[in-house]
Amino acid sequence: MTQETVVRRSEPAPVAPPDPGRAVGLRVAGVDKVYPTRRGEVHALSGIDLDIGAGEFVSLVGRSGCGKTTLLRVLSGLLAPTRGTVEAGGRSAWVGGRRDDAVFAEFGLVFQEANLFPWFTVVDNVALPLKLRGVSRGDRRARAIELCATVGLTGFEDSYPRELSGGMRQRAAIARALACDPSVLLMDEPFGALDAMTRDRMNLELQQIHAVSGATVVFVTHSISEAVFLADRVVLLTPRPGRIRSITPVDLPRPRAAEVEATAGFGELVVALRRELDQED
C-alpha cells in the first residue's frame, strides 16, 4: 500500500481570506425526526433549534445513537424532518414535504467511508460531480488536479483507490466534495476509521481547506478533542431522543497548530465537554 505523503509543518501555513459571499448559513427550527419500525416509533431527534452562520465550522458530538448522523442527514436533504423546518441561505429546504433540490445543489457530503469508484483514477473520482454537471473534460480535469493539490494528493492524480492509503482515499473524497465549490460541507465522521497520526494530519489539512474554501462546515465526530480543535462551536446532543444539551464556543485563535492541544484553554474546553457527556450516564 502506498504510504501517505504529507507536508510536515509545526505551524499551519498562512492562507488567503475566503470569499464570504459563497457560504450560506443554516437554520434548524423545531426539528423532530421519528422513524417508524415494526416495534413502534423511534424518536431520533426532538426539538432541535440551531442557527449556523455562513462560513462557520460547527462540530456535533454526543454518545452513539444520539442522532448526530440523523441531524446531518436532515441538513443534507437525505432525510425529511418529521416536524420543523430547515433553511439554507434563508430558503426553505423542504416545501410541502418535498425537498427543494435547488437548495442542496451546492452542498458537499463526506462520509466515514471514502466510497470512491475503484475503476476510476483519483482525478476521475474527484471530477465526477463536474462530469455529471456537463463540464467539459479538459475543464473538469484541470479543476480536479487543482483540488488534488489542495488536499495534498499531487503526484497521485492518476492512481487508483486501491493504490492509496486510507487517509489518501479520504483526501480524494474531500476533494470530490469540493469539486463544485460547495457553500456547505457536511462531514459524517470522515476520519473515524483512520489511525491516530493520520487523523491528526487530516485535521490540520481540513482546517486549511475550510480557511481556503470559506464553506460552512458541519462535522460529526465521537472525539471531543477533534471537535474542539476544528470548530468555532461544539454542539453536544443528548442520548435519544437527540436534543441540544449545550453549545460551546471555541475561542481559540486560528489557524490552530497541533500544539494548541497542549494549552490550558484547549484542555479546559475538552474537560468541560467530557464532564457534560459523563452526566448523561
Instruction: Quote the mean pLDDT of the chain.
Output: 87
Residue 247's alpha-carbon distances to 189, 218, 233, 243, 273, in angstroms, are 19, 14, 7, 11, 10
Q: One-letter amino acid identity for 219?
A: F
Rounded to 5 degrees, what are φ and ψ at 153?
-115, 20
| pLDDT tens figures, 189-210 | 888 877 888 888 889 888 988 9
Task: Kindly state the DSSP code that residue 113 receives in the 8-state scheme.
Answer: S
Distance CA 63, CA 50 (A): 19
pTM, 2 dp: 0.86
Task: Say whether pLDDT at 11 is over 60.
Answer: no
Is residue 14 over pLDDT 80?
A: no
Stretch 112-129: mean pLDDT, rounded? 92
Q: What is the pLDDT of residues 100-120, one digit of tens each?
A: 888 888 899 988 888 899 999
Instruction: Give the per-residue pLDDT at 87.
Output: 92
Confidence of residue 57 (pLDDT cuts 50, 70, 90): very high
Pairing state between β 83-88 and 26-37: antiparallel
The reported pLDDT for the residue numbered 22 is 61
pLDDT category of residue 86 using cuts at 50, 70 and 90:
very high
Tens-digit pLDDT profile for residues 223-275: 999 999 999 999 999 988 899 999 999 999 999 999 999 999 999 999 999 99
At 6 the pLDDT is: 39
pLDDT value for 166? 87
Whether pLDDT at 276 is above 60: yes
Report cis status (omega within 30 of 0) of the bond before 241. yes
Burial of 165 (0-12, 13-18, 19+ CB in 10 A): middle
Segment 69-78 mean pLDDT? 92
Confidence of residue 61 (pLDDT cuts 50, 70, 90): very high
**Whether pLDDT at 9 is above 60:** no
CB 52 within 8 A of CB 218: yes
Is the model's pLDDT at 126 over the cut of 50? yes
Q: Percent of the chain, pLDDT > 90?
A: 52
Q: Residue 111 in contact with residue 188, Cβ under 8 Å? A: yes
